[in-house]
Amino acid sequence: MKWTIGIAALFASQFAAADYYSSVDDDTCWDARNSSGGPCMVVHKTKWSEYSKDNFIITYRNTCSHRIYARFCNERKNGSEDCGASGIGAGNTKSWSTHNANGRYSYNSIGVVKGSKDWVCSGKVSNWHD
């Protein structure tokens, strides 16, 4: 029984080590994942504006304890995308709105400690600049 508990503790400590501190690279980029392996960037809420017809608003939240750099796009009714990018501090939100939207959206993020490295770190993410 003690052996089983010891092995379980060993595995648990190894998984706990796969966090922010173990993923930061020389450019201050990190994987934008929480300690459970889930994404830091989540959709906090979506809504259609009550004041402007066809204006879609989405709010993202950084659920992690460190800064992330986010890219987000809302699709317009004609199929084109309205995209932006921004740093989002720990626990903070960022909203993006698009006029003549159809309600579809996409997003991606990377952890970046230093804002001056946003473009360096985003360049390490597949399809970031597409």
For residue range 82-130, what is the model confidence (pLDDT) as tens digits? 999 999 999 999 999 999 999 999 999 999 999 999 999 999 998 887 6
Under 8 Å between Cβ of 4 and 96: no
pLDDT at 3 over 70: no
CB atoms within 10 A of CB 6: 10
pLDDT at 57 over 90: yes
Which domains occur in the chain, in start order?
A: 2-122 (2.60.40)
Percent helix, strand, coil in the chain (nearest 5)? 20, 40, 40
Tell me how far the alpha carbon of residue 117 is from its chain's centroid: 16
* Region 67-86 average pLDDT: 97
CA–CA separation, 49 and 26 (whole Å): 42
Residue 2: pLDDT band (50, 70, 90) is: very low
* Region 11-29 average pLDDT: 66
